[in-house]
Chain A
Amino acid sequence: GESVGLHLPTLSVQEGDNSIINCAYSNSASDYFIWYKQESGKGPQFIIDIRSNMDKRQGQRVTVLLNKTVKHLSLQIAATQPGDSAVYFCAERDAGNNRKLIWGLGTSLAVNP
């Protein structure tokens, strides 16, 4: 497959625990943020997004929090499962060219059974 051996920050959690993945973004003018999940050998998969006029958005087992004061984004995964093991990327819409996204380097989540 297309697995890429990324040298990433790694978060290791026990199955059933909650996970929190953090991301700092670069531009206070950014108005849109997205979280992606990438499993080994696959392309990134959209998880959840949030616009800058919101502080929190919830999906199925996931919550995204946006703190514009400190330019910080977090992804919370409730009751983490082995299938959640993946690399997680945050991205922000480029305020200078809103046709593009600016990507973080990713965090590897390992779920221990």
Chain B
Amino acid sequence: DAGITQSPRHKVTETGTPVTLRCHQTENHRYMYWYRQDPGHGLRLIHYSYGVKDTDKGEVSDGYSVSRSKTEDFLLTLESATSSQTSVYFCAISSGTSGRTDEQYFGPGTRLTVT
């Protein structure tokens, strides 16, 4: 398995509180991604990073921010959590050696519940 960990694995939080999810990789891959997975929607891209301090928005970025201060860590922050952000969050990495994404490797996921 690719060396990807996510923390926490489970979290319950209240509406309006800030939440930060962490993705850590040991593969030295260039690209990192945050997805959310919900019934009927499959995997939807929130934000991604193509290098340290280089990030871009995905299709469902509203209400989320990210940071990547070093290669191995990619943080996803919900500034003020809402019930619509209850979901399973997956981090993925890709080597990006060709300047393009190839296969992406996924972490185990974080189940977030906003009450």
| Interface size in chain B (residues, C-beta < 8 A) | 32
Choose from A7, A98, A106 the contact partner of B101 (Cβ within 8 Å): A98
Q: Determine whether the beta carbon of A99 is less than 8 Å from that of B101.
A: yes
Decide if B39 touches A5 in the complex (CB within 8 Å): yes
A46 CA to B58 CA, complexed, in Å: 21
Within 8 A of B (CB), among A38-86: 42-46, 49
In the complex, which of the residues A6, A32, A104 contacts B102, with contact meaning CB atoms closer than 8 Å?
Answer: A32
B31 within 8 A of A: yes
Which residues of B are found within 8 Å of A34, using beta-carbon distances? 103-104
Complex-state Cα separation, A98 to B98, whole angstroms = 10
Chain A residues contacting B58 (CB-CB under 8 Å) are 100
Is B79 an interface residue when CB atoms closer than 8 A count as contact?
Answer: no
Q: Is the interface of A mostly helix, strand, loop or mixed?
A: loop
Assuming the contacts A2-B111, A105-B42, A106-B42, asked whether A46 and B104 have C-beta atoms less than 8 A apart, the reply is yes
Partner-binding segment picked from B14-22, B43-51, B61-69, B70-78: B43-51
- Give the contact-size bracket for chain A: 20 to 34
- Answer yes or no: B27 CB below 8 A from chain A CBs: no
The closest CB in chain B to the CB of A98 belongs to B100
Q: Are B37 and A4 in contact (CB under 8 A)?
A: yes
9 further contact pairs, Cβ within 8 A, besides A4-B88, A44-B106, A101-B45: A2-B110, A4-B39, A6-B42, A98-B101, A99-B100, A103-B43, A104-B42, A105-B40, A105-B41
Binding site for A on B (CB under 8 A): 9, 31, 37-45, 48, 50, 56, 58, 88, 90, 92, 96, 99-111
13 contacts between A and B (CB under 8 A): A2-B9, A6-B42, A7-B39, A43-B92, A45-B106, A49-B103, A99-B56, A99-B100, A100-B45, A101-B101, A103-B42, A103-B44, A106-B42
